[in-house]
A = this chain, B = another copy of it.
Amino acid sequence: MKNTFGNNLTVTLFGESHGEAIGCVIDGIAPGIRVDRAYIDRMLELRKPKGRISTSRHEADSYRILSGVYEDHTTGTPICIMIENTNTRSGDYAALNVIPRPGHADYTAQLKYHGFQDYRGGGHFSGRITAPLVAAGAIVMQALESKGIYIGTHISSMGDIKDRDFEDYISDIEDLYDREFPVLDESVEDKMRAYIEEAASKGDSVGGILKSAVIGCPGGIGEPWFDSVESMISHAIFAIPAVKGISFGDGFSLGRMHGSEANDAYRMSGNGVITTTNHNGGIGGGITNGMPIEFSTVIKPTPSIYKEQDSVDLKNGVNTKLKIEGRHDPAIIHRARIVVDAMTAIVIADMLVTHYGTDYLCNTDL
């Protein structure tokens, strides 16, 4: 379905980095969800580039909600969120149509769109297109929170620098939403910033690994086989530019473990059932078990580096050198985390709506 994702709660994405506007349409969302603009602003703020570790292209990201919201509540009809592009310097990108940037989508876009793509600023492939996704995710997140479901993501590692794991999920997630740089152990922030700045000073860039948690999702959600929770979340997360891997629970470490180490034992807890460990990340047979859903995502280093790179001149069919100009991020992982949260919120909401029906997410008395 190309630029539409979801089964019952869907999001449709549109826009190019230097076109008139970018945006998305969320459909299948319940009527009666209160829409708090301050909440959306807060999430958009966490995606914005800031300081020396980000691009100097600053966009106001002032979004308009064109439809689907009336008197501060969702109407139940599609919500179109639009952000007009204003601060564009297309000249910087003029040559990229013919000399593709390594690590970017320039070359594959050329293969797919035969030269008709709007290549300016990466066009439809630009990370900028995630801004309306974050706004959409914010509306969904508010609805999830009214059901006691919380989602948060931190940088678990960058180079050899490691953050601590989630401990008290709720307070950790709250803290993350207060932090521009998403780490749980505040003492690692300076190290990671220094690591990014050092790469930036050499015209280079860095990647890292994000760890996400979803708290409060009921058990029994998701499907065996093709719409497993892992399938749905991974489908959505791989849509985010620069993501190259995802794993649930103990992830790739499971390849070195034995069954006796990887199985999560069941125990009664009050009237409910819990697992005493969470090696499987809250999911069994593709279905939630009520424990925190946990997954890790690897973000590759930003491909836009200032070092000279080998490329080709597609027009003339010869090898050439490329030196990228313009304004670029030496790291995007600290900004990507809120995009991961937004996409996760959309997927979880979609699965809940599929299971409990259209009106489930409504947080107002119907």
Contacts and interface: CB of A to CB of B under 8 A. Distances in A.
Given A14-B25, A357-B356, A255 B298 contact: yes
A268 B318 contact: yes
A142 interface: no
A107 B247 contact: no
A241 B116 CA distance: 36
Interface residues of A, number: 154
A104 B265 CA distance: 10
A296 B246 CA distance: 11
B157 A255 contact: yes
A1 B12 contact: no
B314 A273 contact: yes
Contacts of A311: 265-266
A227 B20 contact: no
B317 A287 contact: no
Interface in A201-255: 204-209, 219-228, 230-232, 234-236, 238-239, 241, 243-252, 254-255
Interface string A262-277: 1111111001010110
B224 A105 contact: yes
Contact of A15 (B67, B222, B261): B67
A321 to B, nearest CB: 10
A104 B285 contact: yes
A136 interface: no
Contact of A273 (B107, B220, B301): B107
A27 interface: yes
A49 interface: no
A363 to B, nearest CB: 12
Contacts of A307: 260
Contacts of A228: 238-239
A121 interface: no
A304 B258 CA distance: 11
Given A108-B285, A280-B244, A207 B268 contact: no
Most buried by B among A235, A299, A314: A235
A109 interface: yes
Given A14-B25, A105-B285, A116-B32, A226 B254 contact: no
A13 B78 contact: yes
Interface stretch (A51-59, A69-77, A179-187): A69-77
Contact of A25 (B12, B247, B271): B12
17 contacts: A2-B27, A2-B225, A15-B67, A75-B124, A77-B124, A103-B280, A105-B286, A111-B288, A124-B225, A207-B259, A209-B252, A234-B246, A244-B248, A244-B249, A244-B281, A263-B303, A355-B359
Q: Which 7 A-B pairs have the closest CB atoms?
A: A105-B285, A245-B247, A111-B220, A357-B357, A205-B259, A31-B116, A265-B310
